Chain A
């Protein structure tokens, strides 16, 4: 079956394949029909829109959209203001002085005994 032929199954399913070489020479002009929107009974309404939802009459205005309604509500969320500060990683060299070096000498001296004690487990320099 060639690609542009329609099978019964496709017709039944409402599928109409477009012929691969078909190129529309002109497009139909868009029809600007009025669309009367009736809110569905069970349609979920965003909490932010509920109290400012446009009335039925307003829905006929082409300029009023949901996005306009949302953007008109200035979000007041103090917890979102600013950015988290970067992780503060210390460079001890810039802060340390001679007293720090002296204070931490015992830890340097602990390295030798630690090495001796852990050598039996294969820990070595």
Chain B
């Protein structure tokens, strides 16, 4: 599969993959803007509120029924923060025209056109009603509160607040809730206007339609968005040394959770990036990683122990669910396995398996067009390899010594421990 990028306007791009490999086509519309602590809640509330009512689809049921008519097209909002960058937009998946009913096909039923029309309603003609905003504010606050329902997710968020506290767009749960409560429809309209007018705009399409057809439909349905955008430079992330923080909390759970955050000091744009990527693979990705084999298999301390590397900010997160009395042993083993890599104790089999796993992911991307979209966007925003082939070649050339160097550069930043303190007798009725 080949991804081609077209410039529609200054700061308005279309990433396009033409293929008949899949039965469904994909379309995303993404606004890219610098993360801003003050706009956290507005970014989260804007599109969910917009989807509740538009000039044409006067309530959410009407929009959903229209999607049903479009052969169960699925339109959803997205809002994510990634190392100082905020991505807000809409995502759609729809059946290709080849697979709709013959009657509809012969009458020229246009699924993509219909989906784009619905998406343009959401972005350009939302009603942004007070009632709808109040409903979405409540949903937003409830979602934050519900993080306690999953102690691992809760622990991950707490670790993130500690490790990334200086990063734009990272705010505490309480601050996010307060912001949401203060948001009104006028603020939402101003935010919407600002985003639509100024934020960089990226379209992504994968399906059987040609780039020319997709561009024509974009001009037809989104002409109001196709103005030149004021290109705001993304400020780099603040550098700081590892803080070696430790936070201990407790909750009424049966299991305890140990989360550890490390600073690798290496991001996408660094030449050591490939070594850091492999270091994380060997350390904690998958069922033959050092963490899995030692913390789980050898010591039976947990059901799962693994690591994740965010290449946009260099943070490596390790997490596991354990008995509280095993905390010291688990924490020591997690650090011990990192030392093993620092000391170059990497077998040929481990290195080969790690490379093969990444090579396999590269090949699998052919079956997952969203991987192409993500890759293209990451390269534009954060630098690094421009193509999947370039990435694969970079991985292939990494040596054990480079991996050990990457591990030596990695420092523990923070430990978060959520102790489970559940009394059995208050559990059940």
Instruction: Verify that A and B bind, or say they do not.
Output: no
Residues of A at under 8 Å CB distance from B? none
Residues of B at under 8 Å CB distance from A? none
